[in-house]
Amino acid sequence: MLQEEIVLVDRDDNEIGIAEKLETHRRGDLHRAFSVLIWDSAGRLLLQRRQIGKYHSGGLWTNSCCGHPRPGERSGDAALRRLGEEMGFACALAPIGTFLYRAELDDGLVEHELVHLFRGTYDGPIAPNPEECDGFNWLAPDAIRREIAAAPETFTIWFRKYVEAGWPLSPPLEVA
C-alpha cells in the first residue's frame, strides 16, 4: 500500500501531478483524498479503529472509511472500492462536499488533503479487513462529541477536524 501513487492537486482540485503516497506525506504535498461517512437507520455513524500497524494514525478511531483515489480513478469509485476493502460491504454513496486541511502527524508525516466527502446509509453485516481495521462502533452524534471531548488523542486528526467543522454529525435527511 505504501508504494501506491496518489494524485497531487491545487486548492481548486485541479490535478497537477502524480506522486508516491509515503513521499507525498513526508513532503506535505496537497493531494486528493476521500472520506466515507456511513449512517444506520437509527441515526448512528459507523466509526472504525484504524489497524494498529498503519504507517500513521494506527489504533485511532476515525470515520467509516477513507483513502486516496488512484490516478485516473474517480473519487466516488475509490470511496466505494475502499469501503469494500476496509469494511467488507457496499452501499450507495452520495457526495456531500469537500474539505481542505493540513495537519502534522506522528513520525514527521503531514496530511495535506483536499477531501471529497461521501455519505451512505447501511444496516447490514460488517466484515472489517483486519489488515485495515481493528474494530468498529456505531455512535450517535452526541456520543461522538463527548468521546472526542474526553479523549481527543484517541481519534484521527482529520476526523476531529471534520467534527469541529460540523461536517459529519447530522444523519441523512432520508434514512432508508
Q: Is 68 within any annotated ligand binding site?
A: yes
Q: Choosing from 91, 113, 132, 133, which is the catalytic residue?
A: 113
Q: Choosing from 66, 91, 132, 133, which is the catalytic residue?
A: 66
Q: Is 25 within any annotated ligand binding site?
A: yes
What sign has the CA pseudo-torsion 5, 64, 75, 166? negative
Active-site annotation holds for 113: yes
Q: Is 116 within any annotated ligand binding site?
A: no
Q: Is 111 within any annotated ligand binding site?
A: yes
Q: Is 31 within any annotated ligand binding site?
A: yes
Beta carbons within 8 Å of 9's beta carbon, 6+ residues apart: 15, 16, 30, 31, 32, 114
**Contact between residue 144 and residue 45 where contact means Cβ atoms under 8 Å apart:** yes
Beta carbons within 8 Å of 53's beta carbon, 6+ residues apart: none
Question: What is the rounded distance in angstroms from the CA atom of residue 175 to the CA atom of residue 41?
Answer: 6
Active-site annotation holds for 91: no
Enumerate the known binding-site residues for Mn(2+). 25, 31, 68, 111, 113
Enumerate the known binding-site residues. 25, 31, 68, 86, 111, 113
Instruction: Please list the active-site residues.
Output: 66, 113
